[in-house]
Amino acid sequence: MNKIAFITGISGQDGSYLAEHLLDLGYEIHGLIRRQSLTERQTERIDHIDHKLNLHYGDMTDEHCLYKIIQEVQPDEIYNLAAMSHVKVSFDMPAFTIKTNSLGTLNILEAIRNSSPQSKFYQASSSEMFGNNIDNDGFQRLSTPMNPVSPYGSSKLMSYNLTKQYRTGYKLYACNGILFNHESPRRGTTFVTNKVVKTAVEIKYGIKNVLKLGNLDSHRDWGHSYDYVRAMHLILNYETPRDWVVSTGETKSVRNLCEYTFNQMGMNYNDYIIQDEKYFRKEEVNYLRGDSTEIREIFGWKPKYTFNAMIDEMIDFWQSKLK
């Protein structure tokens, strides 16, 4: 019999890649989508596989609908990818962020505990939970203290702890994947990678003249969503539930990102970038670099994409879209 997966956030970047991956593995897929007035846009990333999916309207803040879906579907695996995922926006919408991300996770865990305790649970945890803590060797790992500096990071830390607590207290198969930044052509264009790539292509095509950014000196460990959703599936199919770090182990600054992207299109980023207060955060995570030794050694997982190959793919995507 086919395994059944339930994915919250299925219409997002990771949800869409994960759904494709699990379909390839023969899973029956259920997904949670929110009702929006612009119905034709909300499933853009999954329209090509829509006929193979079972989509349910619902919301992370509605415990009744989550309970009903989980009770009816009895999924083998539940991937909680739904979130208000934008760090800067979380300063503007702290209550919504906490309700969606933290209480939303609690709603799912309670639904599993009460109606489908055999379901395995994956929680999309984030490197943003570390805040500015870095081990002496320059990496973050499971043992690095967590000290978030945004409402988003705080909301994710609450979910991280709940997931651990439901694992130890209620013996659920519940795991955290602490994923460092991961991107793709499907990334929202208000996140820095896709903003830089899209705007650089627009500048090249004469559609825009400048790129307005905030902090150019923060460093991120950027991987590709395609690689990271494969790690999520491995995490839920290990012999015991536990937490994992998923990262490339390399770090680059926003400035490096701009330099590479503009160079690839024969331009100098210095000629086009303006720094704008509007894009700075109240508090910043300055440096992220994850130690993913364990997932590499235990599963043989490693990223297929290099940073450059990922940015090249994003450039190709925007060039063919905007041509």
Contacts of 307-310 with CB under 8 Å at 24 or more apart are 307/222, 307/248, 307/250, 307/252, 307/260, 308/260, 310/183, 310/184, 310/222, 310/223, 310/224
Based on the shown chain and the rule CB under 6 A, indicate whether residue 191 belongs to the binding site for ligand GDD: yes
- The CA-based dihedral angle spanning residues 108, 112, 114, 116, taken in that order and rounded to the nearest 10 degrees: 150
Q: Is 195 in the site for ligand GDD (CB under 6 A)?
A: yes
Reply yes or no on whether 127 is catalytic. Answer: no
Our CB check for ligand GDD shows the closer of 220 and 230 to be: 220
Residues 6+ apart with CB under 8 A from 62: 107
| Shortest CB 91 distance to ligand GDD, Å | 11
Catalytic residue among 27, 122, 152, 305: 152
Q: Of residues 127, 128, 184, 269, which has the active-site annotation? A: 128
Q: Rounded CA gap, 34 and 165, in Å?
A: 28
* Closest CB 181 distance from ligand GDD, rounded Å: 4
205 counts as catalytic? no
The Cα–Cα gap between 152 and 159 comes to: 11
Beta bridge partners of 182: 223
Which pair of tokens denotes residue 85?
A: 């995922």
Gap between the Cα atoms of 318 and 264, Å rounded: 13
Q: Does 190 bind ligand GDD (CB under 6 A)?
A: yes
Is 128 catalytic? The answer is: yes
| Binding residues among 236-255 for ligand GDD as defined by CB under 6 A | 254
- The yes or no reply on residue 122 touching ligand GDD (CB under 6 A) is no
189/293 with CB nearer ligand GDD: 189
Residue 100 binding ligand GDD, by CB under 6 A: no
Q: What residue ranges bind ligand GDD (CB under 6 A)?
A: 85, 87-88, 126-128, 180-181, 190-192, 195, 213-215, 218, 220, 254, 279, 281, 284, 288
Q: Give the catalytic positions in this structure.
A: 126, 128, 152
